[in-house]
Structures are given as structure tokens and as C-alpha cells.
């Protein structure tokens, strides 16, 4: 089953990381996992924007046209997948500095499974209140970081002290990637690719 580690990472993360380490999956397996899980925020955001409307505070709900929401959802899907692959590349590049010798597939597994809680936050979009999505998003981010700190020493086969510094470096790279994606979004919106709202 493609998502067979999903429950274990929530129920007993340390044991599940050992299971993942004991039988590393193929590149194809990790790719399918990323492609499936990245659909969650993209599809939920599309549905909320077109059919439910977003509540930012006081006033009417904000809704997008079908075409605009579809374009933004596809762009989000591509950005999420690209972000996971970029994080895996950076984690692989940094691994040698910390005495680890992982394959790219191993760092892709690390990036895929640690980003999964963030992608699951997409379900909160089905209740499109800004404060709800922000609270759930912070919880998802915190759990992703926790998974990273637990998983790095196990997958990379390095001591926990070194794993802590390595994981902190990966978190920093992840934040830089997030800022890059947000900056690219702002540039595209100001270049005429912004959303079209319904009235």
C-alpha cells in the first residue's frame, strides 16, 4: 500500500522511522507518496475557494472563479512537489558535512514523510476560516519539525547530537524554500497571474 507508513508516523513515529529505515522503498514509491499527498491541499483549496468561500474576518466570504482557482491549485500542486524535491536535494547535499552517506532516495523519503503532516493540513481548508487554517497549520508545521528531528538520526545513521544540528539545518533550508515560493507567488500575482474573484 502506497501510504502504509502514514498511520505509524502519527501513532508511533520513532518505531515507524526504524521500519522505514529497515526496508527503504524505491524512488518510485516515494514519488507516488508525494504525488498523492500533495493532492490534499490543492484539491481542498480549490473546493473551498470555488464552492465554500473564505472568511478572512468581517464581511462577505471571498470566492474565486473556477478557472482562477484551478490555475492556483495546479500551481500549488507543482510548488509543493518541487519544494519536497528541492528539500531532498539540499538534505542530500548537506549530509556529507554531518558524516552521513545517504542515497538521494533516502533523503527523498525523509523529505516526503516529514512534509506529510503539512500537506494533511490541507483538510482544514474544508472549513475555510483563516484562524482555523492558521492554528491547524502551526500544529502541522510543529509535527513536521518533530518528525524531522526524530527521523534524521535514524535514517541518516548518525548520533542524535549530530542529527539535531543536521535537522536544524534542514529546517532552515525548508524555511528558505518557503520564502522563495512565497516571493515567486507575489511576483506572479503582481505580473497579472493573480486570482479572479466572483462578485
Kindly state the percentage of the chain with pLDDT values over 90.
50
pLDDT higher at 45 or 192: 45
Q: Which whole number is the average pLDDT over 63-86? A: 91
Rounded-to-integer distance, Cα 71 and Cα 68, Å: 5
pLDDT computed for residue 1 by the predictor: 44
pLDDT digits (tens, 9 = 90+) for 76-94: 899 999 999 999 999 999 9
Q: Which whole number is the average pLDDT over 142-164? A: 92
pLDDT digits (tens, 9 = 90+) for 99-112: 888 999 999 999 99
pLDDT computed for residue 2 by the predictor: 53
Report pTM.
0.89
Contacts of 72-76 with CB under 8 Å at 24 or more apart are: 72/45, 72/46, 72/195, 73/42, 73/43, 73/45, 73/46, 73/49, 74/42, 75/188, 76/41, 76/42, 76/45
Over the chain, what is the mean pLDDT? 88
- Could you give the C-alpha distances from 36 to 104, 116, 141, in angstroms and in order? 20, 10, 19
Residue 125 pLDDT > 60: yes
pLDDT higher at 136 or 60: 136
pLDDT digits (tens, 9 = 90+) for 7-59: 889 989 999 999 988 888 788 888 999 999 999 999 999 999 999 888 776 67
Q: Cβ distance 40 to 119 under 8 Å?
A: yes
Amino acid at each position: 500500500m502506497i501510504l502504509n507508513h502514514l498511520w505509524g508516523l502519527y501513532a508511533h513515529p520513532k518505531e515507524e522511522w526504524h521500519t522505514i529505515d529497515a526496508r527503504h522503498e524505491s524512488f518510485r514509491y516515494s514519488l507516488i507518496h508525494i504525488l498523492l499527498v500533495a493532492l490534499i491541499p490543492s484539491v481542498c483549496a480549490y473546493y473551498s475557494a470555488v464552492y465554500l468561500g473564505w472568511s478572512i474576518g468581517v464581511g462577505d466570504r471571498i470566492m474565486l472563479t473556477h478557472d482562477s482557482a484551478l490555475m492556483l491549485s495546479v500551481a500549488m500542486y507543482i510548488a509543493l512537489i518541487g519544494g519536497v524535491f528541492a528539500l531532498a536535494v539540499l538534505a542530500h547535499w548537506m549530509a556529507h558535512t554531518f558524516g552521513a552517506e545517504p542515497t538521494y532516495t533516502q533523503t527523498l523519503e525523509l523529505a516526503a514523510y516529514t512534509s506529510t503532516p503539512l500537506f494533511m493540513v490541507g483538510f482544514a481548508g474544508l472549513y475555510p476560516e483563516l484562524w482555523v487554517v492558521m492554528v491547524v497549520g502551526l500544529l502541522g508545521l510543529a509535527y513536521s519539525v518533530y518528525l524531522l528531528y526524530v527521523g534524521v538520526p535514524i535514517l541518516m545513521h548518525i548520533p542524535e547530537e549530530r542529527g539535531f544540528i543536521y535537522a536544524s539545518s534542514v529546517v532552515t533550508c525548508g524555511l528558505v524554500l518557503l520564502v522563495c515560493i512565497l516571493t515567486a507567488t507575489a511576483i506572479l500575482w503582481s505580473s497579472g497571474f493573480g486570482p479572479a474573484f466572483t462578485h
